């Protein structure tokens, strides 16, 4: 591991432990982080060398709130499991924190080592293009909670969602029809190369969305399915 990787791991461990310890429902918060790392209760129990029922009891609030020792072991176990898988979740969280965003606003922010075709990104997440844009390749992606981003970010903070370049795919989650993200992008200059509205089908999409995308020159696509599958798919792009 590089010094940057070690530092990112330490910061993430501190954040996880602090959030669990200070939570009014530490078991539920523990479960949230386990789910965030896509680790089953059985896998976590194996790493901790306890029975799955112990993990289940803590997460369900059937045991006394875990002390700092238990919390530390759980956090270290989740991070160790992720490192054994390649460290994708650790790096994902580090990128979001370094960009200055809360995890409930930005799910992932990544720069690619080289530009990749937009079609490759769409294929990785099962997206359907509704309008073609001016760019055929992208250099990164950002996945955001549309409601949290639109209601909480200033225009300057919204622009930071682009990371190092606007030549990226901007994925909006928690979408019902797509009006709010498309209208919000009308006042942001410049626009990204591509926008994906996650959680809806082509039939669900706001009827004016493709035309607005064409007017502003970006590709528009929709993708349905679990958020976790989308995030996993994006990790295979580059």
What pLDDT is stored for residue 162 in this prediction?
Answer: 79
What pLDDT is stored for residue 47 in this prediction?
Answer: 96
What pLDDT is stored for residue 104 in this prediction?
Answer: 79
CA–CA distance, 128 with 111 (Å, rounded to integer): 22
Are 167 and 205 within one domain?
yes
Q: Residue 18: CB partners within 8 Å, gap ≥ 6?
A: none
96 in a domain, yes or no?
no
Q: Quick one: average pLDDT of 135-161?
A: 86
217 in a domain, yes or no?
yes
Rg (alpha carbons) of the chain, rounded to whole number: 19
Are 129 and 219 within one domain?
yes
The domain that contains 106 carries what CATH number?
A: 3.40.1390.20
Q: Residue 58: CB partners within 8 Å, gap ≥ 6?
A: 27, 30, 66, 70
| Predicted TM-score of the model (pTM) | 0.65
Are 173 and 214 within one domain?
yes
Query: Which segments of 126-226 does DSSP mark as H helices, in order?
Result: 146-152, 155-159, 179-186, 209-216
Q: Which domain holds residue 68?
A: 3-91
Instruction: Note the pLDDT tens digit of each residue in 113-136.
Output: 789 999 999 999 999 999 999 999
């Amino acid at each position: 591991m590089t010094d940057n990787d070690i530092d990112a791991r330490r910061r993430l461990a501190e954040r996880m432990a602090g959030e669990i310890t200070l939570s009014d429902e530490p078991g539920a918060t523990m479960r949230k982080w386990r789910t965030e790392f896509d680790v089953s209760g059985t896998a976590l129990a194996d790493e901790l060398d306890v029975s799955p029922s112990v993990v289940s009891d803590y997460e369900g609030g059937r045991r006394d709130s875990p002390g700092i020792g238990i919390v530390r072991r759980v956090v270290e176990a989740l991070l160790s499991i992720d490192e054994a898988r390649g460290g994708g979740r650790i790096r994902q969280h580090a990128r979001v924190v370094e960009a200055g965003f809360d995890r409930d606003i930005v799910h992932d922010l990544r720069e690619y080592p080289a530009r990749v075709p937009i079609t490759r990104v769409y294929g990785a997440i099962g997206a359907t293009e509704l309008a073609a844009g001016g760019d055929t390749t992208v250099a990164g992606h950002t996945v955001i909670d549309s409601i949290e981003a639109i209601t909480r970010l200033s225009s300057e903070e919204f622009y930071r969602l682009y990371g190092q370049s606007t030549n990226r795919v901007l994925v909006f989650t928690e979408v019902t029809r797509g009006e709010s993200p498309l209208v919000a992008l009308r006042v942001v200059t410049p626009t990204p190369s591509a926008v994906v509205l996650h959680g809806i089908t082509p039939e669900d999409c706001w009827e004016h969305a493709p035309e607005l995308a064409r007017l502003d020159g970006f590709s528009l696509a929709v993708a349905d399915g679990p958020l976790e599958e989308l995030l996993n798919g994006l990790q295979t792009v580059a």
